[in-house]
Amino acid sequence: MTTIELVQVSKKFGTLEVIPPLDLKIETGEFVVFVGPSGSGKTTLLRIIAGLETASSGQILLGGKDVIKLPSAKREMAMVFQSYALYPHLTVGQNIGFPLKMAGVARAEREARVIKIAETLNLSPYLDRRPSALSGGQRQRVAIGRAIIREPRAFLFDEPLSNLDAALRATMRLEIMELHHKFNATMIFVTHDQVEAMTMADRIVILNQGRIEQTGSPMELFTHPVNQFVAGFLGLPRMNFIGGEFAKSYGVKTIGIRPESIALSSGPAAIDHPKFSVEVGVIERLGADSFAHISDSSLGKMTMRLEGDSPIRYGDRIMIELNPEQFYRFNAEGLTIGSPIIRPITSVHEGVVTTINNKKRKRL
């Protein structure tokens, strides 16, 4: 496994610059997720790292060595795509062992390695089946197996879970995280899904129009977004934004408040907590939580978290209370002003380092 470093890497398609020069360093064994809306340059960046696309400028260092001139095969990266691209006429075992066959590895060793990989991926019972007789998740695991067997220097995943149903996506998320730990693998995982980014990443890289908006651990980005784009991108339901006179009264262009920071008001509010009577629209019940869509003439439309079994119903009028300590504040350029007093990240201050599996926990 290896470090991956991008130095002033950029990409133009014709005259259109889709990735302005950017820098990024990924440590050995790190699980980095590139997340951003469609068209933000995630796939292009991954393909440049893999050597499937040429950069217009800059350097790519693998383990400190510039590989920009190396063809894809020589970079020894494993890529797993959304479409699994399995060979339909080969069995699971043959699919997994295919890269070794291409590399001229002897049959006995090939089979031994296929058996081992199949065990890791819970595919042992299916080795003789054809891909058409597998479920979507099993096919995805075969594709991963085929990628792993070459013992690559890094794994690159491009939206590998997008074709799966919701339950399977959740399972596969866990399996890929488990693999990351088992192999202590350097992984880059591309997704447009902020839930995948939040749940899987050691570190998230948020892309927008080919630029890195912010990088950091999921909770760092969630609690301390540098701008309104990041604040609105991470978190489900997304952060509420309030502009107009209300924001002006706090001396800013926009105020952001997360759905879970809006409180039901019972009794008198704290002196500096503004109170509002709001109308309740549709309520989404998720079981443990409910999310109510509320509106008010001065605040606009917002989403707030309620208890799962909250008796509040569509059409009700309720009193809510906002705690200014939990406001995110944005200026006219959309940059975060100051830092909100929401759940400070204690580990940054403590600098906790524990040793698990001989692998040093990274300092945040």
Closest CB to ligand ADP among residues 13, 314 = 13
Q: Which of 4, 5, 29, 43 binds ligand ADP (CB under 6 A)?
A: 43
Site string for Mg ion, 264-283 (x = CB under 5 A): --------------------
CA distances from 154 to 190, 238, 240, 279 (A): 14, 32, 38, 51
Q: Examine residue 36 and tell whether it contacts ligand ADP (CB under 6 A).
A: yes
Q: Which of 285, 211, 301 is nearest to 293 (CA)?
A: 301
Cβ neighbours for 133, distance < 8 A, ≥ 6 positions apart: 126
Which of 20, 21, 39, 99 is in the footprint of ligand ADP by CB under 6 A? 39
Residue type, 311: P
- Tell me which amino acid residue 21 is: P
Q: Is 42 in the site for ligand ADP (CB under 6 A)?
A: yes
CA proximity to 199, closest of 175, 225, 218, 171: 218
8, 13, 133, 165: residue in contact with ligand ADP (rule CB under 6 A): 13
Distance CA 48, CA 59 (A): 10
Q: Which of 210, 168, 217, 211 is nearest to 32 (CA)?
A: 217
Considering only the stretches 42-50, 97-105, 294-302, 345-353, report the one whose residues sit in contact with ligand ADP under the rule CB under 6 A. Answer: 42-50
Window contacting ligand ADP (CB under 6 A); options: 31-39, 141-149, 254-262, 293-301? 31-39
43 binds Mg ion (CB under 5 A): yes
51 or 97, CB closer to ligand ADP? 51
Residue 77: CA atoms inside 13 Å, Cβ hemisphere, count? 30
CB of 201 to ligand ADP, least distance (A): 16
CB 34 within 8 A of CB 42: yes
Residue 136 exposed, middle or buried by CB count within 10 Å (0-12, 13-18, 19+): middle
Q: Compare residues 43 and 214 and give the one whose CB is closer to Mg ion.
A: 43
CB of 55 to ligand ADP, least distance (A): 13
Q: Which of 29, 41, 145, 218 binds ligand ADP (CB under 6 A)?
A: 41
43 or 208, CB closer to Mg ion? 43
Q: Does 38 bind ligand ADP (CB under 6 A)?
A: yes
Can residue 191 be called a binding residue for ligand ADP (CB under 6 A)? no
Strand partners, 11: 19
Q: Which does 258 bind (CB under 5 to 8 A by kind): Mg ion, ligand ADP, none?
A: none
Q: In the complex with ligand ADP, which residue's Cβ is closer, 44 or 336? A: 44
Q: Would you state the torsion angle of the CA atoms of residues 35, 40, 46, 51, taken in this order, to the nearest 10 degrees?
A: -170
Q: How far is the CB of 13 from ligand ADP (least distance, A)?
A: 3
Instruction: Report the DSSP beta bridge partners of residue 290.
Output: 285, 306
**Where do contacts with Mg ion occur on this chain (CB under 5 A)?**
43
**Where do contacts with ligand ADP occur on this chain (CB under 6 A)?**
13, 18, 36, 38-44
